[in-house]
Structure 1
Amino acid sequence: MDTKFCRDCGEDRPLTEFTRNRNSRDGYAFYCGAHARRRHNAAKDRRDGKPKRRHPRDAVVPEGHKWCPDCEQILPFASFGRNAASKTGRTSYCKPCHNARGRRSKDAVGGERTYHLRRRYGITAAEADAMLATQGGVCAICRAAPAAHVDHDHDSGAVRALLCFNCNGGLGQFRDDPWLLRRAAFYVEHHMNEQGIARLRAAGTDDPDGPADASGCQ
């Protein structure tokens, strides 16, 4: 089989791997087809910048592997996170690159706390801190426990105040329904009164000021 030396491979390659070149002495290109494409693409990248498309160029991706556009490595599926929406069922970027992109996104909006607050409630960390200062650092309902949770209207999405874990959870359990909350308050007060009366009767009197003696005096 006829061969030709490829300068990039550093070895002889089959002549069929070389394209025709009228300007060369033997009528074939100086580099094999794979290295010729790489040189062409490298020159294009230097001139125009790297392509934005998310697939490898001039690379064979084996079964069960995927190419990461950021680190430009071909890695096994295990190196990528799960993504049911993609064709391969994996994320576009390997785990380290995916995490690095996430950190850059969070840093761009002022840090991880602002990133999550803005994403869920539409406020920044500075705005949350200002609310906390206005509330004196405690829950807007019980005014005792630290306010660690952002309370918002589930219909409109509007932020209301900062609450402690118990108060925030309580509103959620009662579905933010004022009628249910008032009935719950009435229920608790009613049974507290009933228990108070029961204790007085057990003590031998229905009078909270104490029993009267035989003369009618207390």
Structure 2
Amino acid sequence: MADGLQAYCRECSAEYYRQRQEAKGRKVRERVSVPAGHKRCPQCCEVKPHSEWERNKSTSDGWASKCRVCRAQRDELIAAQGGVCCVCLSAPATDVDHCHKTGRVRGVLCFNCNSGLGLLRDDPEAMYRAADYLEGNAWKPTLVAPGVYQLPS
């Protein structure tokens, strides 16, 4: 608006956003109230007191992104796989990878490999096509007549 304020209050804007996202078929996380001196861990979904968190000056609230217990579990996974990403085998493992359908943890990957899997929507067929593409075997339809394409078998 011209005065720099929103047209709706924060709660109404949040509800409108939720409705738009659900109409698109996207899941919107339920907002959890957190008492003062506590923080919610996105990994275990528990609200814990600040005594259960490490300090981190680079974050907006001054606390780590995950609680001590979840960070320790991640560190155990990293140590179990030698500290290296399971996919590229060269970068340090930093991000816990999980199946978006089941929630099962698969391992720890580097940021790039974890992002790549997510961008390909954890679809093995898309990953096989990407590997074929990198090897020079791109899947391309062949033009056999104007407007008529033959798909590869």
TM-score (norm 2): 0.50
Percent identical: 43
Q: 1:117 to 1:191 in 2, by over 3 A?
A: farther
Give distance in 1, aligned partners of 2:64 and 2:74.
Answer: 9
Match for residue 92 of structure 2? 146
Match for residue 116 of structure 1? 66
Q: 1:106 to 1:140 in 2, by over 3 A?
A: farther
Give distance in 2, aligned partners of 1:183 and 1:168.
Answer: 18
Indicate if the aligned counterparts of 1:151 and 1:168 stay in contact, CA closer than 8 A.
yes
Match for residue 58 of structure 1? none
What is the aligned length?
95
Give distance in 1, aligned partners of 2:38 and 2:77.
Answer: 30
How is 1:201-216 mapped onto 2 (pairs within 5 angstroms)?
Answer: none
CA RMSD of aligned residues (A): 3.5
Indicate if the aligned counterparts of 2:53 and 2:67 stay in contact, CA closer than 8 A.
no
Amino acid at match of 1:125: R
Give distance in 2, aligned partners of 1:156 and 1:137.
Answer: 25
Which protein has the bigger helix share?
1
Match for residue 106 of structure 2? 160
The 3-state SS of whatever aligns with 2:11 is coil
Match for residue 130 of structure 2? 184
How is 1:49-198 mapped onto 2 (pairs within 5 angstroms)?
Answer: 84=11, 98=36, 100-102=37-39, 105-107=49-51, 110-112=52-54, 116=66, 124-190=70-136
Q: Where in structure 1 do 4 or more consecutive aligned residues deviate above 6 Å?
A: none
Question: If you compute each CA radius of gyration, which structure gives the higher value, 1 or 2?
Answer: 1
Give distance in 2, aligned partners of 1:83 and 1:161.
Answer: 38
Structure 2: runs of 5+ lacking an equivalent: 1-8, 13-32, 41-47, 55-62, 139-153
Amino acid at match of 1:116: K
Higher relative contact order (CA 8 A, sep 6+): 2
TM-score (norm 1): 0.37
Give distance in 1, aligned partners of 2:121 and 2:10.
Answer: 33
Indicate if the aligned counterparts of 1:106 and 1:115 stay in contact, CA closer than 8 A.
no
Give distance in 1, aligned partners of 2:65 and 2:112.
Answer: 25
Structure 1: runs of 5+ lacking an equivalent: 1-81, 86-91, 193-218
